[in-house]
Amino acid sequence: MFWKKKSSEPTTQKSKKDDPSAYFIKLVLMGDGAVGKTSLRRNYLGVGFTEEHILTIGADFAAKSVKYEFNGKKYDVTFQIWDLAGQETFNSVRSMYYKGCFGGILVFDRTRPSSFQNLKHWLEELSKHSSRGHVPLIILGNKADLVEDGTGVPAEEIEDFISNLNKSYSKGKFEVHYLDTSAKTGLNVKEAFDLLGEQVLHWLKAI
C-alpha cells in the first residue's frame, strides 16, 4: 500500500501497519570511486552489508530505522540506502538503481579536486534517472580530516558551488546542504543522514 498526500506530490511506502507516521524511504549514496562512500555508510550503519555486491552488480544496499520528532510528533523512518559504484565500468547499469529514490547523498573527496569537478555529472545522472527529477540532496566533502591549509578543494569553491546550485536546483522546494565529513573520525556522518531524512519528510509535507 502507498501513502499519498495529493496527486501532484511524491509518494512513499507506508509501514506494514499502515501507521501514518511511519515511512519507508529509498536513498542513493553516490560519487566517484574511492571517495569514501562505503566507509561513510559503514560508519553510519555498521558492518551489516556485503561490499562484494558493489563490485559484482554495481550497487549494494542496507536498511536502517530512525526515529524523528518534530513539533511534538514522532516519526518512524526506515531508510533503504543504495550504495552506487562510482567507477565508469558501472555507468550503464547504475541508472536502474536511482529509480524511485526520495533523496541522495553525493560525496566527493576533499583531497581530490577531480571528484569535486564531477559533481555536476552526478547531479545530472540523479535527476535523469530518479523518476522524480530533483530530489532532496546532501553534498558531503569527505576525508576532511586529511585536508591541510592550502591543500584540497578550497572552501570558497565549495560555497560558491552550493550557492549556485541552490539558485536553480530545488526551485524553493528544499535546500541543498553541504557538510564536511570524515568516515575515519565520524565527523558529521550521522548528522548528514539525519538532515537528509528531515529534508525528505518536509518535501513529502509530512512535517
What 3-state DSSP class applies to 146? Answer: helix
Beta-bridge mates of residue 2: 13
Q: Which three cell numbers stand for residue 190?
A: 550521522
The type of residue at 19 is D
- Does the residue 107 lie in any domain? yes
- Does the residue 77 lie in any domain? yes
- Does the residue 45 lie in any domain? yes
pLDDT higher at 59 or 110? 110
- Domain extent, residue 41, equals 13-155+184-203
Gap between the Cα atoms of 193 and 77, Å rounded? 12
- Does the residue 6 lie in any domain? no
117-169 residue pLDDT tens = 999 999 999 999 999 999 999 999 999 999 987 789 999 999 999 999 999 88
* CATH number of the domain within which 80 lies: 3.40.50.300
- Does the residue 121 lie in any domain? yes
Residue 1 is predicted with a pLDDT of: 23
CB of 40 closer than 8 Å to CB of 189: yes
- Does the residue 137 lie in any domain? yes
pTM recorded for the entire structure: 0.86
- Does the residue 44 lie in any domain? yes
**Domain total of the chain:** 1
- Does the residue 178 lie in any domain? no
